[in-house]
Structure 1
Amino acid sequence: MTASTFAASSIDTPLVRRLIAAQFPEWSGLEVRPIEPGGWDNRTFRLGEEMTVRLPSAAHYVLQVEKEHLWLPRLAPHLPLPIPEPLAKGTPGEGFPWHWSVYRWQPGETLAVERVDDVRQVASDLTRFLRALMQADATGGPLPCDHNFHRGGPPAFYDEETRRALALLHGQLDTSAARDVWEAALAVPFEGPPVWFHGDIAWGNLLVENGRLSAVIDFGTSGIGDPACDLAIAWTFFSGEAREVFRNGMALDRGAWARGRGWALWKALIVVAGMTGAPVDEMTRQRRVVDAVLEDHRRFG
């Protein structure tokens, strides 16, 4: 089987067992079981009690493997929360065409309002993490490109896609207001030195334990550039006082927030417009994100 013909549906527990047995026989006696949900960019499996295995689900995610193995150990000492720790890098084999990873298991549950004691504290802890990430040495870091779908670059990369979504949604939401938000995001380009960003700060990549934020995972879209893409969680998860805690803690200028609204709006619009194949409940959730972004623009834009 070649990379061009490989199907993500072929990634299953028997494949992972074969890869481990062939390449890391010292772990071949450990139980392998899938983690649900297993992710979109990668499929994730538990390996014993202390490790996870992550396999890219398509060729365009493979660049993330080398990036994470190179940079995560360098970033970890500078961050106030745990991040993934690569333990081993697998090679193509057993019918799987790409490199893959073994990580140390990170305990915790994905972020949800009912799993935390105080959402405002989560917002504060997250800003502390993101500001530390932004202050890490960016020398030689990966610039926005195909490896992270141009996160950290200008939102204008998705201009055509956003305008297509607006056209599809005409008459279904306030596309005039949404267009104003998008134009505002394009009007204020990032002009500072590139800094580290995560690229996909979302509830599924934030872990909680004992009611507190405990770890940040999945750095596949990370890189150096404009950190505005990390602001989207202000509208996708936070609201009210927690959103204000996050806004104040990030201490970024109005231009960054305009671009951040643009990043959140782009993703929400393409989901609501049915361009991603997302289920109906996700389309409904992203419709609420659009509403939150438009209201935020009316207040602060």
Structure 2
Amino acid sequence: MHEDQLSISTETVRELVRDQFPEWRELHVRSIRSQGTVNAIFRIGDDLAARFPLQPADVADTRRWLETEAQAARELAGCTRFPTPEPVALGDPGHGYPLPWSVQTWVSGTIATPTDPAGSIPFAHDLAEFIRDIRAIDTRGRTFSGRGRGGDLKSHDAWMEICLDKSEGLLEVPRLRLMWAELRQLPRGSSADVMTHGDLIPGNVLVAQGRLAGVLDVGGFGPADPALDLVGAWHLLDDAPRRRLREELGCDDLEWRRGKAWAFEQAMGAAWYYRESNPAMSEMGQVTLRRLIADEPVDVA
């Protein structure tokens, strides 16, 4: 998926586990197919998941990031009724793999897709509950301080221009260009930052029998624009469940449209960047953009 992507084999993971965590040496290790773009995932026994960063980075910086992710996971654990991964251990580089890595608890469920369980009203109810529970966690005075999604929409203009240029022949670029020109101007309003998951895409959501079974990739949990987690409305839901989500969260027009803007920004990047290397991520982006266009038609004449 990335030009400089690291590779790691199941045998290497077994050797790292045997050397660094001998208490797990008898547990079966197997690779897990994932839509994720940041980590390679391996299951250790029935209860653990090991995550290996896919792109080269400084060792100390990577360890600090993994520690930050673990702290975020600890803070979120138990704050909702929906299971989330909990940190277990940090591993060291070795056997040819150059970076620290992490071990979390395994959360059971089936990975959602852009179309399943998109039509489920009960799932929309669960998702609204999860978002409400996240928002209710005390920020302890923290505010958004990153450069990714969750702050100023206009700060993403340069990236959106790249995405629009790269999407020629794949997407309805003239229509999408006009959409971004409108969405980027949405003011923040008076709402303060709240705690957010930050990445409610299908690959991070687990389902069972049409209900929310768990939420993965919680390392980005932190303060941001309250509209940020509304990306899930567009990545995960069809029209009727999406309306139910909005009703249950009580979103006003400005917050709802800012949620559209964050979903647009994320979908634009996924659609072209992963077109060849991660078709599931690309398809997610394209499905989300079709939903956004259907909900907010733009005259390109």
1:181 shift after superposition: 4.3
Instruction: Determine the structure 1 residue equivalent to 2:268.
Output: 269
More deviation in 201-210 or 263-272? 263-272
Q: Is the 8 A contact 1:35 1:45 kept in 2?
A: yes
Structure 2's unaligned 5+ residue stretches are none
Give distance in 2, aligned partners of 1:285 and 1:114: 9
- Read off the aligned partner of 2:232 and give its amino acid letter: I
Within 5 Å, which residues of 2 pair with 1:8-157? Answer: 8-9=6-7, 11-37=8-34, 39-59=36-56, 62=62, 64-112=65-113, 119-139=120-140, 143-145=144-146, 150-157=148-155
More deviation in 152-161 or 124-133? 152-161
Q: Determine whether 1:185 maps to 2:176.
A: no
* Closer, same or farther: CA 167–125 of 1 in aligned 2, 3 Å: same
- Read off the aligned partner of 1:242 and give its amino acid letter: P
1:129 shift after superposition: 0.6
Give distance in 1, aligned partners of 2:232 and 2:109: 19
Give distance in 2, aligned partners of 1:164 and 1:7: 21
Structure-1-length-normalised TM-score: 0.83
SS at match of 1:65: helix
* Closer, same or farther: CA 46–189 of 1 in aligned 2, 3 Å: same
RMSD of aligned C-alpha atoms?
3.0
Structure 1's unaligned 5+ residue stretches are none
* Closer, same or farther: CA 254–223 of 1 in aligned 2, 3 Å: same
Instruction: Determine the structure 1 residue equivalent to 2:174.
Output: 175
SS at match of 1:21: helix
SS at match of 2:223: strand
Q: Is the 8 A contact 2:143 2:193 kept in 1?
A: no
Give distance in 1, aligned partners of 2:94 and 2:9: 14
Q: Is the 8 A contact 1:154 1:186 kept in 2?
A: no
Structure-2-length-normalised TM-score: 0.83
- Read off the aligned partner of 1:204 and give its amino acid letter: G
Identity %, equivalent residues: 30
1:214 shift after superposition: 1.1
1:43 shift after superposition: 0.7
SS at match of 2:292: helix
* Closer, same or farther: CA 141–29 of 1 in aligned 2, 3 Å: farther
* Closer, same or farther: CA 177–59 of 1 in aligned 2, 3 Å: closer
Q: Is the 8 A contact 2:32 2:41 kept in 1?
A: yes
- The structure with the largest helix share of the pair is 1
* Closer, same or farther: CA 246–117 of 1 in aligned 2, 3 Å: closer
